[in-house]
Amino acid sequence: MAEQSKKETTLDERSASSIELKDSSTSVEPMLPSAPVRDEIEDIKPLGSPAAKSPDSVSEGSGSNEPTDPTFGKNPNDDQADGESSSEAANLRTLSPFQRTQITGTTDATLRTSGLRRHRLVMSACCLFSVGFLGLCALDLKSAFTVQANVDKSFKLSYPAKRPALPPNLTYLSDSEQGVDGLYRVVEATWTTSNVGLIDKNGVVVVKPQYATIGPFQDGLAAVSKLNTSKPPKSDNKYKPESYLYGYIDRTGKVIIKPQYENARAFRDGVALVSSGSSHTKLIDRTGKVLFEAETQQMATDLGGIYAVTEKHGRTGLIDKTGKRLLPQEYDGINSFDNRNQSYDQSYEPDVDQAPEKFFEISRDGKCGVIDFKGNIIIPPTFHEILSYQNGHATIGVNGKYGFADSSGKIVIKPTYDFVTAYDDLIAVKEGANWKLINSSGNTVNGAHIDGVIVQNGERWLVNGRAPVIVGDSCGFVDKNGLIAIKPTFVWELPFKNGFSEVYDGKLWHFIDIFGRSPNNLKLTGIAKIPVGAVPVPVSLEGPLFSFGMSSQVMSTNENYKSSIKYMKRNSEKNASDDDSP
């Protein structure tokens, strides 16, 4: 009892000399706990400070249990106090743990426990994130956003076969390499070169990596190229295209035509265009026999079984796949209507909805006309501009205004419009800022109000009885009578082909039929070809993380299409849209 009374006396003495905390004009009088609580608190080592003296190590008569660190709890403002002794200054700058507990309401042990808990939670979250990330890395991250598949003409899905494993020295030509007819292109890279070869679906090497390039197989043959070692490299150590020689191999890797040409195109219907030298075009068959040869300014243009050949004097003629001349070299140009802007090294792929009705534009001395697939002249070069030829009528342009002429060259609808679609039962025209619908006689159709159309120059607008229109800021379809057939609810859409169209809903693409129904409810992440025939077409489907990982791309796409709609609603130029992109 005496010892306890002594401790309480000591505590009372300390309470009488409690420390006044100076912060401006404010002082704090700490409330002290009872002696038993104090003993427990003093047993706790303050975090970040030297060990506090234990009660046993302090003389019972000393009346002091202050921390050994004289700077603990130091307030820089206390240095401004005047007229105080050094012991008073020490008291102003020092707080014991139990005093700090009374002020803050939290013990050092509690602070350490809560901090440790937060640390453990953060570390656990980091570990979980790392495990999840490593798990995704173990999978195909690309398939988490998009899934590659194939779709046939009945819109049934099939997935590419799993690619065979490769030995360490080989890699696939690209991440999207799916192989054709069981053959995959692979690359063997060295310090100086990268050689391309072929493997089959079992991973067996069919063509040893030895070529610079291997093109797609068409008509059973693929164009291959090898470095032309007879020509030295350029000064910048880069070889130009003419420093490669091209030839052809079959699916077994057998060389059918040895590399000898400076340029070569894929075979079509048993023939291919090649060039020997920068200004020499040849048409060859599968044995390498030359069917046609001429000195040209550029490679001949494949128009789908006939070829436009521009010879050195600058005039263009037409030949067929046997090398027979269909038109003499006396025209300034010969172009397809639905692929007007193709470069000379691209091949013409006719729209199946237009086959076998194939017509081409010819130009001479600044005037334009029309020929058919056999080279017969339909309309002599008499008009300033011809945009299309459809249903026996040409879309003509005179001084920036557009109308229609029949196959005899007689004007049937005067060229008074700023923009017109191709001649059909329903035609969209623009006068100034206003759009309207007319019929084949030029009379106004009392149909839907439209603010624009979506059509590629030279292509059909009304296909399968449906025509794409812009109403407000959305896209839909009208029928041949000009009435709304599919409500304008889409962000973008493409003209119908083979009974189907592709529409974009602001996030994904969908195939729809003429009634607006989506076959198999396919959700595509990009534009794909309409499947026709026995060969499935590749499509890209929505993956589980598409919405999360591709949100910025979707927003950018939406803005592009919105800008295109605004442009098309106000623009009167003939090239108002693009088939695949805004």
Average pLDDT over residues 2-29: 46
Residue 122 is predicted with a pLDDT of: 82
Range list of H helices, 17-140: 35-42, 86-93, 97-104, 108-138
d(CA 416, CA 401): 5
pLDDT of residue 395: 95
In contact, 303 and 347? CB cutoff 8 Å: no
Element (H, E) at 15: helix 2-16
The band of 549, judged by pLDDT with boundaries at 50, 70 and 90, is low
**Between residues 552 and 502, the one the model is more confident about:** 502
Q: What is the pLDDT of residues 142-184, one digit of tens each?
A: 555 678 888 998 899 888 778 888 888 898 887 667 677 778 8
Alpha-carbon 90 to chain mean position: 70
Neighbours of 243 (CB within 10 A): 18
Which tens digits make up the pLDDT trace of 243-258? 889 999 999 999 999 9
Give the integer Cα–Cα distance in Å for 79 and 387: 91
Rounded CA-CA distance 512/27 in Å is 79
Predicted confidence (pLDDT) at residue 419 exceeds the cutoff of 80: yes
Other C-beta atoms lying within 10 Å of the C-beta of residue 187: 17
Going from the N-terminus, what domains does the chain have, and what CATH number goes with each?
Answer: 2-105 (no CATH), 146-161+434-582 (no CATH), 169-294 (2.40.128), 296-417 (2.40.128)
Residue 111 has pLDDT above 60, yes or no: no
Q: What is the pTM of this model?
A: 0.67
Higher pLDDT, 260 or 61: 260
- Look at the alpha carbons of 164, 170, 175, 181 in this order and tell me if their dihedral is positive or negative: negative
Q: What is the pLDDT of residue 58?
A: 43
Asked if residue 62 has pLDDT above 70, the reply is no
Cα distance between residue 195 and residue 216, in whole Å? 16
Measure the CA dihedral 69/70/74/77, to 10°.
Answer: -160
What radius of gyration do the chain's Cα atoms show?
A: 41
In this model, does residue 267 exceed pLDDT 60? yes
Strands of 341-447, DSSP E: 359-364, 367-372, 377-383, 385-390, 393-398, 401-406, 411-417, 419-420, 426-431, 434-439
Is the distance from CB of 66 to CB of 59 less than 8 angstroms? no
Instruction: Say which residue, 36 or 171, is predicted with more confidence.
Output: 171
pLDDT tens per residue across span 464-483: 999 999 999 899 999 999 99
- Give yes or no for residue 458 having a pLDDT over 60: yes
Whether the per-residue pLDDT at 57 is higher than 80: the answer is no
DSSP 367: E
The reported pLDDT for the residue numbered 346 is 35
144 Cβ contact partners less than 8 Å away, ≥ 6 residues apart: 136, 543, 544, 545, 549
Is the N-terminal amide bond of 495 cis, ω within 30° of 0?
no
Query: Which DSSP symbol is given to 299?
Result: P
For 160-180, letters b (16+ CB in 10 Å) and e give eeeeeebeeebebbeeeeebe
Say if CB 511 and CB 530 are below 8 A apart. Answer: yes
pLDDT single digits (tens) 188-219: 987 777 899 999 988 899 999 999 999 989 99
% pLDDT > 70, the chain: 66
Q: What is the pLDDT of residues 309-319, one digit of tens each?
A: 988 788 999 99
Owner of token pair 């060859």? 284
Residues 397-416, mean pLDDT to the nearest whole number: 94
Confidence check: pLDDT of 223 > 50 = yes
